[in-house]
Structure 1
Amino acid sequence: MKRAIPVLALSIAGLVPVWLYSPGPAHEGEINEAAAAPETQAQTQAPQTTTAAPKTSGAAPTTQPQQTQQQQTQQQAQTRTVSGPAVNTSEGVVQVQVTLQGNKITDVRALRAPNSDPTRMALPILKQEALKAQSADIDTVSGATATSTGYKQSLQAALDGAQ
């Protein structure tokens, strides 16, 4: 009984700071990578293509296959940016924007994401994994499970919308 009162008093004293805790300004708001880095001219302008005269090899030149090849080259060189939907997670809203050149993912940016330490650490990893996998089939980042799930859902929807 002699120990009960000090243990109770110290337990309450230890819990008071936990009850009074509120997140500071570092945890408020959202992350927006697209606003932090302005778009480059390559993303805002249509790609320029040049055409060269066909080389002659003695046979009659055929323009049909060459036109098809030029169209394929233009489609591959076409750069487009597609935004995925905003996905609500338990940590906040996550929305990504994907830049594609042809069918290749060249960049992924977080338009919206929770402003927390786990999210700030996870976003570069998620971007790297998406660029490496060239799809939304990426691993979840430990400690940022909700953000990772929202990131993958928004990225998949953006990729689906790009096709």
Structure 2
Amino acid sequence: MITLIAAVADNLALGKNNDLIWHLPNDFKRFKAITSGHYIIMGRKTFESFPKPLPNRTHVIITRQKNYHPEGCIVVDSIEKAIEACPKTETIFVIGGGEIYNLAMPFADQLDITRVHHHFEADTFFPEINPKKWQLSESEKHLKDEKHLYDYSFETYLKIK
């Protein structure tokens, strides 16, 4: 199964200047719980936005740079090769950025979205979720609080077969 996992604003914003625009601790906890122990596919810029590789995950990085070989990571030059590098029996998570989400969307079986209920100025966006191809199967709303500046919802979409 291939799952795209992302925190996405109401206007589909993902980030700006290779960084997140918001800070939602519960989203980070959910991301860690869902992706730990699995293969995660990302673009080079997303990988480089981390201070270090994420623990307890196998990193598959897509880049066109020929001499890019971070230690302990699988490096490929296409979404197809990234998927091939992962075991077929595994749930694979695509974690960004925007270009990688666009490339991976046709291969995805599920979308795990943290919907941030706000509009942000951004330079990276998530692809449009076509309601003819994706069905919302779960949604759990959370209101802003002292640790979360925005209302948000955890949403799961399943591909319509």
Quick check: which one's strand share is greater?
A: 2
Q: One fold, TM greater than 0.5?
A: no
Higher relative contact order (CA 8 A, sep 6+): 2
Quick check: which one's helix share is greater?
A: 1
Q: Smaller-chain TM-score range?
A: under 0.3
TM-score, normalised by the number of residues in structure 2: 0.23
- Larger Rg: 1 or 2? 1
TM-score, normalised by the number of residues in structure 1: 0.23
